């Protein structure tokens, strides 16, 4: 005891760091989602949309969008004292998909962000993670003015496997985004446990 207090120091917990990708179509809200939940100032690689890019980038439905991610978004959130998530937002346009393979290395899981007004834009992300065996959840970003559909209707439209989590969220709201990230981590850990159990039998 020193001055009436225990001299023992509290044992520091070394947090486990996990990598999560945030994917989806152009203008679906990936940058917003990372920014809403990150506890650090998010790294963004946004550039202004130009007239030269209009024939290449499909802005139908997001005509008011003036910038685009050209490499990645990066953020961090501590879910628990011993669990930290590093978030990597992928670029949405087809011409930047070559970056996905680099960003996907070492990822525990992914979020595929969807907009019901342009649902077909998230098919590429779903196919990508299915082909590579990366666990993912689909999060429907509930934009103002967009028609709301029951989760099961969206699941059927996307032809999702029953085990894939599907959630409704607001990419601007920290709490709903945290719920999505927790669902991804739980889904990925459950998939990992199933694989280990299968390998042991």
Kindly report the three-state secondary structure assignment for every residue of the chain.
CECCECCCCCCCCCCEEEEEEEEECCCCCHHHHHHHHCCCCCEEEEEECCHHHCCCCCCCCCCCCCEEEEEEEEEEEEEECCEEEEEEECCCCHHHCHHHHHHHCCCCEEEEEECHHHHHHHHHHHHHHHHHCCCEEEEEECCCCCCCCCHHHHHHHHCCCCCCCEEEECCCCHHHHHHHHHHHHHHHHHHHHHHHHHHHC
Work out the percent of the chain whose per-residue pLDDT is above 90. Answer: 58
Given this model, what pLDDT does residue 100 score?
82
For residue 106, pLDDT over 80 is answered with yes
Top-confidence residue, 152 or 95 = 152
| pLDDT tens digits along 4-20 | 555 455 567 788 999 99
Under the banding of pLDDT at 50, 70 and 90, the label for residue 68 is low
**What is the span of the domain harbouring residue 105?**
18-200
122-174, pLDDT tens digit by residue? 999 999 999 999 999 999 999 888 888 999 999 999 999 999 999 999 999 99
Domain containing residue 139: CATH number: 3.40.50.300
In a domain, 7, yes or no: no
Residue 13 lies in a domain: no
- Residue 54, in any domain of the structure: yes
Q: Is 102 a member of any domain?
A: yes
Q: Is the pLDDT of residue 178 over 90?
A: yes
> Chain-wide mean pLDDT for the chain?
84
Residue 27 lies in a domain: yes
Residue 5 lies in a domain: no
What's the total number of domains in the chain? 1
pLDDT at 114 over 60: yes
Whether 4 maps to a domain, the answer reads no
pLDDT exceeds cutoff 50 at 65: no
Is 6 part of a structural domain of the chain? no
């Amino acid at each position: 005891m020193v001055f009436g207090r225990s001299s023992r120091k509290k044992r520091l917990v070394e947090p486990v760091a996990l990598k999560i990708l945030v994917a989806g179509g152009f203008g679906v809200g990936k940058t917003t989602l990372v920014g809403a939940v990150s506890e650090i100032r998010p790294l963004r690689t946004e550039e202004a949309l130009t007239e030269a890019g209009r024939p290449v980038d499909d802005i139908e439905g997001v005509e008011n969008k003036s910038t685009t991610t050209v490499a990645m978004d990066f953020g961090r959130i501590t879910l628990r004292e011993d669990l930290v998530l590093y978030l990597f937002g992928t670029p949405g346009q087809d011409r930047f998909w070559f970056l996905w393979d680099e960003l996907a290395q070492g990822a525990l899981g992914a979020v595929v962000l969807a907009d019901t007004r342009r649902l077909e834009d998230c098919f590429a992300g779903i196919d990508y993670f299915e082909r590579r065996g990366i666990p993912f959840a689909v999060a429907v970003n509930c934009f103002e003015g967009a028609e709301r559909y029951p989760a099961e209707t969206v699941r059927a439209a996307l032809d999702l496997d029953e085990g894939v989590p599907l959630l409704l969220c607001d990419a601007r709201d920290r709490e709903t985004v945290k719920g999505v990230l927790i669902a991804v981590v739980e889904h990925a850990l459950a998939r990992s446990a199933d694989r280990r159990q299968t390998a042991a039998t």
